[in-house]
Amino acid sequence: MQPQNDDSEQSWTVSFKNSRVEKAWHELSEKAPENMARCEEHLETKPMVRIPGRVFPLMGKKYKGSWEYEVTGADRVFYVPDPDTKTVLVYYAGKHVKPAPLPL
């Protein structure tokens, strides 16, 4: 019997908007390694699953498709998942800013 394919556990590809975002991601990984390991696992397996108070889609037309992951009380990762290609584009990583940065 074949194991059942759980779509939420299939691997997603994580990429970065640009080298500045990638550098910020790595800096955040050094600052909060355990939290960022959980963040990375979440983005690679189930980026469109909400975790109350931690992971959620942004509201409003200008944020359509964007999600926020709270890494620490002061740090965030903003990303856009594409379920058709199973890719996640991280467009911001770092200090929590208000208003949230706009995607692309």
| Rounded distance between C-alpha atoms, residue 1 and residue 16, angstroms | 38
Choose among 34, 26, 103, 37: nearest CA to 68.
103
User: Does domain 13-95 correspond to CATH entry 3.30.450.20?
Assistant: no
Extents of the domains making up the chain: 13-95
- Tell me the whole-structure pTM to 2 decimals: 0.88
What is the tens place of the pLDDT at every residue in 18-77? 999 999 999 999 999 999 999 999 999 999 999 999 999 999 999 999 999 999 999 999
Choose among 99, 35, 94: nearest CA to 62.
99
What is the tens place of the pLDDT at every residue in 31-46? 999 999 999 999 999 9
Tokens of 42: 């979440």
